[in-house]
Amino acid sequence: MSTHCWIDVAVQTPAHTQVGGLLTYRSPFLVQPGVLVRVPFGPREVLGVVWAIRDRAPEDMPEANVRDVLGVLEGLPPLDMHWRQLVQFSAQYYQRSLGEVALSALPPQLRDLTSDQLARRLKKQNTMRKVQTSAGPTLSSEQSTVLAQMAEGSGPFLLFGSTGSGKTEVYLQAVERMLQADPQAQALLMVPEINLTPQLEERVQARFGSEAVVSMHSGMTPAQRLKGWLAAHAGHARIVLGTRMAIFASMPHLQLIVVDEEHDPSYKQQEGARYSARDLAVYRGRLHNAPVLLASATPSLESWHHSRPADADDSGGRYQRLLMPSRMGTGLLPKVRRVDMNKQPRRTVLSAPLVAAIQERVQRGEQCMLLLNRRGYAPVLHCADCGWKSECKHCSAFRVFHKIDRTLRCHHCGLTERVPRACPECGNADIAPIGRGTEQLEEHLGELLAHVLRPDGTPVRIARIDADTTRLKGALESQLAQVHSGEVDVLIGTQMIAKGHDFRRITLVAAVNPDTALFSSDFRAPERLFALLMQAAGRAGRDAAQSATSEMWVQTFHPTHALFEALKKHDYPAFAASELAERTAAELPPISHQALLRADARTQEAAQALLNAARQTLEAQLSADPTTQDLVLQVSVYPAVPMSMQRVADVERAQMLLESPNRMALQKMLWHLHAVLHQVRSQPEHKGVIRWLVDVDPQAI
Ligand code: ADP
Ligand code: ZN
Ligand code: ZN
C-alpha cells in the first residue's frame, strides 16, 4: 500500500472495557472525520465512524499491529462536526465510551447494508422535500406575544402554558417561520412517546405535508428507521418528529429544537448511556446556534429553576420564561374536588359521591376517566393463617395477582406462575388478595354501575387500558380509537392514559388513590404526581361546551396537603415554589447535582463492598494530591446502600450517591471515579461483582 493515512475510528466497544471507543487503523483511502467506514474488530467486521486523522503512526503500538480499514460507505456525506461534538459531549458527561454512544445513535440497519444496497437507498431519495404549508388559525394574543419573544431572544426558552393553551400551535408556527426564512432549515420536534400522541404526528403532517416530515421512535421497523435517518442526514427531511432517541438524529441544517412536555421522565434513557434528551437538546441548540423551546404545563423543577426571573440578590436563570396561561375556548379548567377518605367507611375504594358523579355523567352520555397507578388485580396475595405473602423468589418484590388468567406475576423479572390452590406454606385454602389494581377496580366499578343506563337505554360500557391490555402491537391504538369514537363510557387505567390524549368528551377525571406519592422515599415523587394530576385534569372538558361542568376528583386521606391545595387552584407556580423551598433546604436538585454509582452482584455485601472500596480509594487518592484535594470538599460521596428495589432476577443491587452544588466538580469526581473503579474491580476480592454503572442526573433515587 503506497498512499495511506492513520485514523482514529469510533467503534462499538463493550461497556466498561478499557478501550475508550476509539481505535487506530490504517486507511488506504483518503477520508475525513465523520465518514462511515468498515473496519476489522477482533474476528469481526464492524461499522465505525472516522473520528480523527492522525499525522503520524501511533507511538504506543507496533505498526504491524495496526489493521487496515476495509471499506468506506460511499455516497454518504460525513457526519458533521456538530453531531460529533454532541456525541463526544454525551459520552463524556454520561460516562460511557464514545464508540458506544456514536454507534447506538446510528440506525442499526446501516451496519448490515452492502455498498450497493446503500447506493440504491440513497438514489431513491435524492430530492429536497417540498414543504406545502397549509394555513394555521389566527393566533391568539398570547401566542403572538410568545412567538415575538422567540424572534427577539436567543433562548433557551421555557414555554409555561396551560394544557390546551395552544402550545402545539406555537411550535408549528415557529417551524413555519423558520422554514420560510431558510429553504434548507431543519427542525427537531421532540415528544415523550409518539404512539401515545398520534394526533400530533397527524397534525404536523397535515400542516407541512407528509413528504417533509419523518418520525423517529423505537416502534419503527429497522427499514423505516434507516429511511428516516437517511432523509434527515441528507437534509431532505425538514422536520424530524421523534422521541428521546431523535436527539442524536443527524441534521446538518438544524435550526430549531422543540421539546414538548419537557418534564416527562421518558426523556431520560434508562440503560446504556443514561442521557437526558431534554438536557442534550439545550446543549445541541447551543452547538448549532439554534433556538431551543422547552414546553410544558408543569415544567420540571430544573427548567423552572433555570428560568427564574432575576431579583435583587439573584441574577436569574439562563432560560427565558414565556407564558401562555389561558386555555383556548372558554378558558375554563375543571373544578377540582377532593374527597376526604377519612370520612368514608373503612376500606372504601370508590367513595359514594364519586360513584354518584360518574353515574350522572354516564346517564348524560359523557365520558369519565379513572386513574390508578397499579395494574393487575391485587398487588399481593396473603394467607391470614400463617402470614405468607406472594413474594417473588428472585426479587425483593411481591408478585401481583392477575385474576384474568389466575396468575401471580412479578412486574420486575416477569416470573409468572398459576395461583396456588392453597397457601404454599401451611395449606390453608383461604388465601386472599390485599390492595387493589386496575383489574379489580374495573370489576368493582362494573358491580357499582351495573344498573346504570346510558341515554339510549343501553348499559354502561367500562374499559381498561394499561400495560396488560396493550401488550399486543396495535392494541393501544385500537383501544384509544374506541374511546375517541365514544364506544366507552368509563375508562380505567394507569398513568399511560393521562398522557397527551385528546379525549374530547371526557368531563370527569378521578385519581382513585394518589396518596402513596406524597410520602415516597423518592424526592421527585410529588413533582411527578402533581404533573400527572394536572395533565389528567387537562384531559377533562377539552370541548368548550363542556368545560364549564368538567371536574377532576381526588380521593385522599390528606385533603389539605399543599400539593392538593395547589392542584385545586391549578397553581403550578405555587406548587413549584413550595417544592423548590424544600429542595433548597435539603440541598437537593435542582439546587445541587447528583450522580449514582450502582453495582450489581450475587450478594448485597459484594455489591456494597465494591462501592465502598471505590469510595475509600477515591478519597485517599484525591486527598493525597494537592491539585485534587478541593474535590473531596466539593463533592459528597455517601456510603453504599441497597437500592430500594434491592434484588431483581436474583441479582443484588447497591448504590452510592454523589452530590455537589458544583456540576463541574461532580464531573471531575466522576472522571477520577471511573479510573478508580477499573482499578478496584480488578482486585480479586471483588470478583463477585457482575457489573457497575453510573447514572448522571438520575431521575429516581
Ligand atoms: P396545547 O398544545 O397547549 O395543549 P393545542 O395547541 O393543542 O394546545 O391547542 C388546543 C386547541 O386549541 C386545539 O384544538 C387547537 O387546534 C386549538 N387552537 C390552538 N391555537 C388556536 C388559535 N390560534 N385559534 C383557534 N384555535 C386554536
Ligand atoms: Zn399460610
Ligand atoms: Zn421477580
pLDDT digits (tens, 9 = 90+) for 24-81: 999 888 889 999 999 998 888 999 999 999 887 777 777 778 899 999 988 889 999 9
* Ligand 1 contacts CB of residue 325 (under 6 A): no
The residue whose C-alpha atom lies closest to atom 25 belonging to ligand 1 is 137
DSSP letter for each residue of 640-673: PEEEEEEEETTEEEEEEEEEES-HHHHHHHHHHH
Q: Does residue 136 line the site of ligand 1, with CB under 6 A?
A: no
Q: With bands split at pLDDT 50, 70 and 90, how would you rate the model's confidence at 638?
A: very high
pLDDT tens-place string over residues 639-697: 999 998 899 999 999 999 999 999 999 999 999 999 999 999 999 999 889 999 999 99
Check if 140 has its Cβ closer than 6 Å to any atom of ligand 1: yes
471 phi/psi in degrees, rounded to 5: -65, -40
CA angle 273-277-278, nearest 5°?
140
**What are residue 594's DSSP bridge partners?**
659
Query: Which ligand 1 atom minimizes the distance to the CA of 165?
Result: 3
**Residue 161 to residues 261, 262, 276, 538, 671, Cα–Cα distance (Å):** 10, 12, 22, 12, 39
Q: What is the pLDDT of residue 455?
A: 93
Question: How far is ligand 1, taken at its centre, from the CA of residue 163, in Å?
Answer: 9
Amino acid at 328: M
d(CA 649, CA 412): 8
Q: Report the atom number in ligand 1 closest to the C-alpha of 163.
A: 4
How do residues 130-180 score in pLDDT, each as one tens digit? 677 777 889 999 999 999 999 999 989 999 998 888 999 999 999 999 998
**Is residue 284 helix, strand or coil?**
helix
CB 694 within 8 A of CB 596: yes
Q: For ligand 1, pick from 169, 330, 504 the residue to mutate: most ligand atoms within 8 Å of CB.
A: 169
C-alpha 401 to ligand 3 mean position (Å)? 13
Q: Kindly give, in sequence order, each residue whose CB lies less than 8 Å from that of residue 657, ignoring residues fewer than 6 positions away.
A: 594, 595, 596, 636, 637, 638, 701
164 in contact with ligand 1, CB cutoff 6 A: yes
Cβ contact 166:328 at 8 Å: yes
Give me the torsion for CA of 370, 375, 379, 381, rounded to 10°.
110
Whose cell is 429553576? That residue is: 305
Q: Which residues lie near ion ligand 3 (Cβ < 5 Å)?
A: 392, 394-395, 410, 412-413, 415
Q: In which band, very low, low, confident or very high, does the pLDDT at 553 lie, cut at 50, 70 and 90?
A: very high
pLDDT digits (tens, 9 = 90+) for 373-421: 887 777 788 998 898 999 988 988 888 888 888 899 988 888 899 999 9
Q: Rounded to the nearest whole angstrom, what is the distance from the C-alpha of residue 520 to the centroid of ligand 3?
A: 22
Q: Quick check: helix, strand or coil at residue 369?
A: strand
Give the number of whichever ligand sits closest to the CA of residue 417. Answer: 3
pLDDT tens by residue, 458-509: 999 999 888 888 877 788 888 888 888 888 999 998 887 777 566 778 899 9
Question: What DSSP string runs through 410-473?
Answer: -TTT--EEEPPSS-TTT--S-EEEES--HHHHHHHHHHHTTT-B-TTSPBP-EEEESTTTT-ST
How far does residue 427's CA lie from ligand 2's centre (Å)?
A: 6
CA distance 180 to 423: 70
Among 122, 372, 397, 390, which residue's Cα sits nearest to residue 234? 122
Say if residues 366 and 508 touch (Cβ distance below 8 Å).
Answer: yes
Say how many Å lie between the CA of residue 416 and the centre of ligand 3: 9
pLDDT over 90 percentage in the chain? 63
Ligand 1 near 163 CB (within 6 A): yes
Q: Tens digits of per-residue pLDDT, 309-350?
A: 988 788 889 999 999 998 887 667 789 999 999 999 988 889
- pLDDT tens digit sequence for 192-238: 987 666 778 888 999 998 889 999 998 889 999 999 999 999 999 99
Cell representation of residue 320: 427565558
CB atoms within 10 A of CB 53: 14
Q: What angle do CA 468, 537, 198 make, to 5 degrees?
A: 55
CA 409 – CA 379 distance, rounded (Å): 10
Residue with cell 394526533: 199
Of residues 617, 602, 613, the one with CA closest to residue 685: 613
Q: What distance in angstroms lies between residue 348's CA and the mean position of ligand 2's atoms?
A: 26
Does residue 589's CB lie within 6 angstroms of at least one atom of ligand 1? no
Ligand 1 atom nearest 328 alpha carbon? 12
